[in-house]
Structure 1
Amino acid sequence: MNDKTAIIYSSVDGQTLKICNKLKDSLQQSNPNIVLFSIDDFNEDVSQYDKLIIGASIRYGVHNKKVIYFINTHKKELDSIKTAFFSVNLVARKSEKNTPATNPYVIKFFKTIDWTPTVVEVFAGKLDYKKYPYFDRIMIQFIMWMTKGPTNINTEIEYTNWEKVKKFGMQLGNM
């Protein structure tokens, strides 16, 4: 039986969407019933899905408020199906902060909501200063300076561990 699965994402610079597309491609190899939605476009009935995966990026230390609202609004339905949540953030580039139990943003996120997904993961994002508007670039450079990361405006580094994404996709397929 193929589970009907929705992947919902919130992405600021596109890396979370890129990860969601990789997960979708991986899951579709064994299940054609996978649909992908932006958090801004999802207005489906959650209960029509067997599995729901939420991917959310971080900007200035917080996940998108729409993701939090969605979870709080649909908690009852989410609790009745298999669910997964993953966070994408640059702090996860550090090995000591790249698991759900050690990533400060994921820890903080789950302290602010009353939901426990079936599976939780965290992935490092991408740093691309040239892509950011001026204010964002300055703020992200400051945050990177504070966390001993690269601050050169020509820096473009994809920290995402694609092997970890692949393993997560396999885990979701077996969920």
Structure 2
Amino acid sequence: MASILVLYGTGEGQTATVADRIATVLADRGHDAETVDATEWPGGRDVDAFDAVLVGASVHGGTHQPAVREFVAANREALRARPTAFFQVSLSAAVDDPERQAIAAQNVTDFLAAADWHPDRVGVFGGALRYTEYGFLMRLVMQRIAKRATGDTDTSRDYEYTDWDEVEAFAADFAAVVEELVDDVPTGK
């Protein structure tokens, strides 16, 4: 069994939900997966206590959460020394529009280049619109963005675009990488 840190940054909660699903898949394969919000990562903890690290972030306006950027920068050498993965959650990844999907992919490329980090696996997943949780101004802004992106502008309800089969396949693929690279790790189920 490997110990795997699943650290995430989230703006509206969907990235946390994705991180939890990933941790469940890893646990189902016999690994000890711990999910931690990047804003709650204690400075006294050591990444070296984990056999592998999976980092996730949502992207808003082309920018990922500062806490995630800071975590990767502060732990760059430790990340290079073990199996790692990165996943991004965004509205751009949710639509069947090559231009918007290219934007999502470019956000990942820019993040990883700025971080000087080369994870073993990268996943890009559709996010969610949480109209019922937004304040008035945010609801209007997101409705305007959604009108161009998804067409889902009914603010009386929420929309989820995450492909859970894709998330689970990504988690299983990363588990296989960990199982191959880390000593004393059982073969996945």
Which TM-score applies when normalising by structure 1? Answer: 0.89
CA distance in 1, matches of 2:8, 2:95: 23
Displacement, 1:148? 5.4
Local SS of the residue matching 2:89: strand
Kindly indicate whether the alpha-carbon contact (under 8 Å) linking 1:124 and 1:159 is maintained by their aligned counterparts in 2: yes
Q: Is the 8 A contact 1:100 1:107 kept in 2?
A: no
Give 1:147 deviation, angstroms.
Answer: 3.3
1:52 is aligned to 2:53:
yes
Question: Does structure 2 retain, via aligned residues, the 8 Å contact 1:56–1:64?
Answer: yes
Could you list the per-position Cα deviations for residues 71-127 of structure 1 after superposition, in whole angstroms to 9, with x for gaps in the alignment?
111111110111010000010012336878962322332232211111111100111
RMSD: 2.1
Contact kept in structure 1, 2:92 and 2:101, CA below 8 Å: no
Alignment pair present for 1:150 and 2:152: yes
Unaligned runs of 5+ in 1: none
How does 1:135-174 map onto structure 2 within 5 Å?
Answer: 135-147=137-149, 149-174=151-176
For the Cα contact (< 8 Å) 1:16–1:56, is it kept in 2?
A: yes
Q: Is the 8 A contact 1:97 1:103 kept in 2?
A: no
CA drift at 1:170 = 0.8
Paired residue for 1:20?
19
Q: Distance in 1 between matches of 2:130 and 2:13?
A: 11
Letter in 2 for 1:55: G
5 Å-filtered alignment, 1:19-168, equals: 19-43=18-42, 44-95=45-96, 96=98, 103-147=105-149, 149-168=151-170
Q: Which residue of 1 aligns with 2:186?
A: none
2:4, 2:49 → 1: CA distance?
A: 9
* 142-151 vs 48-57, which moves further: 142-151
* Contact map agreement 1:98 1:123 (CA 8 A) in 2: no
Contact 1:100 1:122 in 2 (8 A): no
How far apart are residue 20 of structure 1 and its match? 1.1
Q: Which 5+ residue runs of structure 2 have no aligned equivalent?
A: 178-189
Structure 2 residue identity aligned to 1:37: V
1:52 Cα deviation from its structure 2 partner:
0.3
- Structure 1 residues 10 and 97: CA distance shift in structure 2, 3 A: farther
Q: Structure 2 counterpart of 1:159, which letter?
A: Y
**SS of the residue aligned with 1:34?**
strand
Q: What SS is found at the alignment partner of 2:169?
A: helix
State the secondary structure of the residue aligned to 1:116. Answer: coil
Identity of aligned residues (%): 26
